[in-house]
Amino acid sequence: MPTLLLATQNAGKVRELRELLAPARWRLVTPAELGLGAVAPIENARSYLDNATRKAIAFAAAARLPALADDSGLEVDALGGRPGVLSARYGSPAAPTDAARCALLLRELAGVPPARRGARFRAVVVLALPGDRVVAREGTVEGRITLAPRGASGFGYDPVFELPDGRTLAELGAEKQALSHRALATHAMIEVLGALAGAPSHTPGDLA
């Protein structure tokens, strides 16, 4: 069974990725489990793809293993697509927690009616392989920003992102693993991982 490094230090992402990648025929490890030192590529690119690629390649080189990284963000129409690639650092340093960033977002949207609170979550997942070869997959979920947080599960902006059925991502529980932007991108990547595990002759170019 080949080994895949989950290129993140985010405990919430690790939990989700372990569940999402369970069907793949790979042994999943984290940087902490490998005793890796600080691997912190600067995520200042202008796209999710570039940020995820930087992370995947940096972790793959540090561990000498295939590595999977993601970058994702919340794009709010009324804010011109913000916070986008800056979602994880939105309002920093004044908003250092998920709850603080959600509160900041809601303040920025104060007075904006529900019909104009359209938004989407976008995720790009990148697999880095030896020789700096990469494969990328993307997932997007449409919705809108709520007037107040709802739900106790999930992380990040999940409590303020409402799906078309009226539930927030934080109200989905285990169902989020089938519906979220990260789930859609990761499910597409499972096909790539399965082909690589079962057919070594495949290359990323064959699977892109």
d(CA 105, CA 180): 20
Measured at the alpha carbon of residue 163, what is the angle toward residues 162 and 166, in degrees to the nearest 5?
75
Residue with tokens 């997942």: 125
**CA 150, 153, 155, 161 torsion-angle sign:** negative
Active site residue 165: no
Alpha helices in 87-203 (DSSP H): 98-108, 176-179, 181-198
Which of 50, 70, 71, 158 is the catalytic position? Answer: 71
Positions marked active-site: 71
